[in-house]
Structure 1
Amino acid sequence: MIGTIRINVIVAALAGIFTFALSIGNNVFLTTCLRSFYSFLILFVLTFGFRWVLGFMMGLEHANGNLLEDSTNNAVGQNLDVITPDEDAATHEMLKANMNPHHADIAKESEFSPLNPPKLVTKNNLDPEQLAGALRRMSED
């Protein structure tokens, strides 16, 4: 764990005092003291958990640092190299291809053109008797 129990006590005491100050105006004195005590206990325990997680993470960092320093040929295949290779040559080739005047003609041909969907067609001359019949059939269902 990182730090000492003094950190837990300070954080929990601040939480208890803050809870006491905010609830003294709205609650009875005994209720205020009880809620402040609960706040103290909860934050005291949570601070232990937080310190444990930080200590665990720091322990992993130290362990990883020691593995890298002590690595020999016997440890081949136990470490993963996640560094991406340099792709400067491929990038330069792409930039040169973009500067080519023939490429500009191809780019003009493939410019953006919006989608042209078919227009909706409405029927203006409908028979009123057919409309009334369709409405009756729909209302029956």
Structure 2
Amino acid sequence: MAGKMLFNWLFGGVGLILTFLVSSSHNLFITSLIRSLIAFVIWFLLAFAIRWMLGLSKADPVSLEERASGSEEAEKGLRVDLTTPDEQEAINDMLKPSGTKASENSQGTAAFEPLKPPRLVKTADRDPEELAKAVRHLTED
């Protein structure tokens, strides 16, 4: 346990020194010392939290008896398969040029047609007085 506590003491000491160096340039000596001691306690407790999280990550989730029995139920979910299936053929098929338009239509997929938006049509000429009223109405608001 002494080796583990040494990590906490060193971690707290680093926090104390850093806080004292930063705080001493702007505060009185006693204020810097008090803030450094508070930082030491916080960093010391933070080291406990870090050690606890590292301990959880290293902990073996399955006990030795369960491994010895060889039950498949106990081993489910312990390992992750990070390999992906080989999709090289599917990629090559996508890159190949597709057949003629007739073959596409026979398969049920429509051939490409560009979008034809409706054209803006000019309405009949308006009365100039009516246009002036509209402009005045818009400028008043």
What TM-score range do you get, normalising by the shorter chain? Answer: 0.5 to 0.7
Distance in 1 between residues matched to 2:111 and 2:66, nearest whole Å: 52
- Gaps in structure 2 of 5+ consecutive residues: 105-109
**Map of 1:70 onto structure 2:** 68
Aligned-pair identity (%): 32
**Map of 1:30 onto structure 2:** 30
Opposite residue 129 of structure 1, the aligned amino acid is E
Q: Structure 2 length normalisation: TM-score?
A: 0.61
Native 8 Å contact 1:98 1:104 kept in 2 = no
Opposite residue 46 of structure 1, the aligned amino acid is L
Distance 1:42-1:137 versus aligned 2 partners, 3 A rule:
same
1:69 positional shift: 3.8
Q: Structure 1 length normalisation: TM-score?
A: 0.61
The alignment covers a number of residue pairs equal to 132
Structure number with higher helix proportion:
1
- Gaps in structure 1 of 5+ consecutive residues: none
**RCO higher in 1 or 2 (8 Å CA, sep ≥ 6)?**
1
Native 8 Å contact 1:8 1:48 kept in 2 = yes
Distance in 1 between residues matched to 2:127 and 2:7, nearest whole Å: 85
Distance in 1 between residues matched to 2:65 and 2:136, nearest whole Å: 82
**Map of 2:107 onto structure 1:** none
